[in-house]
Structure 1
Amino acid sequence: MLSEVLLVSAPGKVILHGEHAVVHGKVALAVALNLRTFLRLQPHSNGKVCLNLPNIGVKQAWDVARLQLQDTSFLEQGDATAPTAEQVERLKEVAGFPEDGASPERLAVLAFLHLYLSIGRKQRALPSLDVMVWSQLPTGAGLGSSAAYCVCMAAALLTVCEEIPNPQKDGESASRWTVEDLELINKWAFQGERVIHGNPSGVDNAVSTWGGALRFQQGKISSLKRSPRA
């Protein structure tokens, strides 16, 4: 289990072509932005998992032992399906939210809990963590802020649960994850995006995971060697 502080970041995105058609299986061309979301994860042993999102005024904590006792069988959804309304309501119960509508702040919390519980279920015990996320990306501006958030969360939680290697191990802070590691990060980030957006195309989290310029169609990602020009 990870013992030191982990820092990760992910970029926002701009879709150059196919922004609305991409959800119908058409080609989209997108590029990463030089604006990023940052995550700092600190493992500890106080029996709490704490989430701090200063940009949107969220600060919450849960008792790990209580989360461990929750029935999380509702998280066993297939990769090809978005969370059902019932599954989202169950997640709200775990979060301690009332039944009324979901604000952007609450959706961010629900996405975190979904990823934390889903990825952490393979562990003998859920990890105690302090997680802080802050961003240069404005929310609701179409720049992929939620995708960058989910990519950071997925990467950090997969690392702390040892599903992927720690890129900062042995001081190699500039090392990169393998293609297989990035595919796993992207897969889990997409699950977080589904909690927030219901039925996203997957292009936002793909660009945030892979960076650079991408061609995206029906879940298939191709890196572009040169940025597209008008």
Structure 2
Amino acid sequence: MLSEALLVSAPGKVILHGEHAVVHGKVALAAALNLRTFLLLRPQSNGKVSVNLPNIGIKQVWDVGMLQRLDTSFLGLSPTCLFARVTEQGDVSVPTLEQLEKLKKMGDLPRDRAGNEGMALLAFLYLYLAICRKQRTLPSLDMVVWSELPPGAGLGSSAAYSVCLAAALLTACEEVSNPLKDGVSVSRWPEEDLKSINKWAFEGERVIHGNPSGVDNAVSTWGGALRFQQGTMSSLKR
């Protein structure tokens, strides 16, 4: 388990071409923005897990012991590189509305949190339980997420949020390497770890949006400019 604080960030995106056609298997061209979402994860020993989203005025705290006792067998999905299956066959088992409603009740999410606010909390809880349940004990941690990206503006704010969540939780649970472990102040995950981060970020996007194309989280994970078609991504060098 991570013993030190970790600060991660991910960029927003703009789709230059094919924003709606991409869901029908057409080419989309997208590029990262110089506006970012930031996440600070601090390990705790107080038996609590908390998420603070100051941009939208949300703070939620859970008791780790309570979450540990939940029956989360319905979260048994392991993300795989299935973007092509999503776009071509549509047979990937996306979390159902019933499952998400069950998770809302089990996680005691506030009833007055609707829309983007409620989905942000739900995505966090889903990824926290799904990623960290391999641990003998769920980790106690404090997480603060803030952003330069306005929500609902088509700039990939939810994707950047999901990428930050996935990267931080995977690093905390040692599912991917910690690029800062050698004392460097700024670093980047290796390619294989970025693939894992992207897959889990896509799961977070599915919780928030239902059936996303995968473009937003891919750009937010790798940055730069990407060509995306039927789940296949390639970086644009020019």
Match of 1:22 in 2: 22
Paired with 2:50 and 2:112, the residues of 1 have a C-alpha distance of 23
Give 1:179 shift: 1.0
Q: SS in structure 1 opposite 2:94? A: coil
Counterpart of 2:56? Answer: 56
Q: Please tell me the root mean square deviation across aligned C-alpha atoms, in Å.
A: 1.4
Aligned to 1:74: 74
TM-score, length-scaled by structure 2: 0.92
Q: 1:139 aligns with which of 151, 175, 185?
A: 151
**Is contact 2:30–2:219 with CA below 8 Å preserved after alignment?**
yes
One-letter amino acid of the counterpart of residue 223, structure 2: G
1:116 to 119, 128, 139: 128
Q: Which runs of 5+ in 2 are unaligned?
A: 80-91
Rounded Cα–Cα distance in structure 2 between residues aligned with 1:170 and 1:180:
19
The 3 A distance-change label for structure 1 pair 101 and 6 is closer
Amino acid at match of 1:43: P
Measure the CA separation in 2 of the matches of 1:3 and 1:77: 28
Unaligned runs of at least 5 residues, structure 1 = none
Match of 1:151 in 2: 163
How far the C-alpha of 1:90 sits from its partner, in A, is 1.3
Taking structure 1 as the reference length, the TM-score comes to 0.95
Displacement of 1:100 in angstroms is 8.5
Q: Does 1:203 align with 2:197?
A: no
Distance 1:163 1:77, change over 3 A: closer
Aligned-pair distance for 1:95?
2.3
**Partner residue, 2:232:** 220
What is residue 86 of structure 2 aligned with on the other side?
none
Contact preservation (8 Å) 1:29, 1:214: yes
**Does the 8 A contact of 2:18 with 2:27 survive in 1?**
yes
CA distance 1:173–1:101, change in 2 (3 Å): closer
Matched residue, 2:202: 190
Which is further off, 55-64 or 73-82?
73-82
Does the CA-based 8 Å contact 1:89-1:99 persist in structure 2? no
Task: Give CA deviations for 1:144-167 in whole Å, capped at 9, x if unaligned.
Answer: 000000000000000000001111
Q: Aligned partner of 1:46: which letter?
A: N
Q: Deviations over 1:156-208 (max 9, x none)?
A: 00000000111111212333211110000000000000000000000000000
* Residues 1-59 of structure 1 deviation map (CA, whole Å, 9 limit, x = unaligned): 11111000000000000000111111100000000000000001100000000000110
Structure 1 runs of 4+ with >3 Å offset = 97-102
Per-residue deviation at 1:78? 6.1
* Aligned residues of 1:167 and 1:173 also touching (Cα < 8 A): no
Determine if contact 1:49/1:129 at 8 Å carries over to the other structure. Answer: yes
* Cα pair distance change 1:136/1:101, threshold 3 Å: closer
CA–CA distance in structure 2, aligned partners of residues 123 and 17 of structure 1? 42
Quick check: 141-150 or 73-82, which moved more?
73-82
Residue 42 of structure 1 aligns to a residue whose secondary structure is strand
Partner SS for 2:182: helix
Report matched runs for 1:91-130 at 5 Å. 91-97=103-109, 102-130=114-142
> What secondary structure sits across from 1:166 in the alignment?
coil
1:32-51 to 2 correspondences below 5 Å: 32-51=32-51
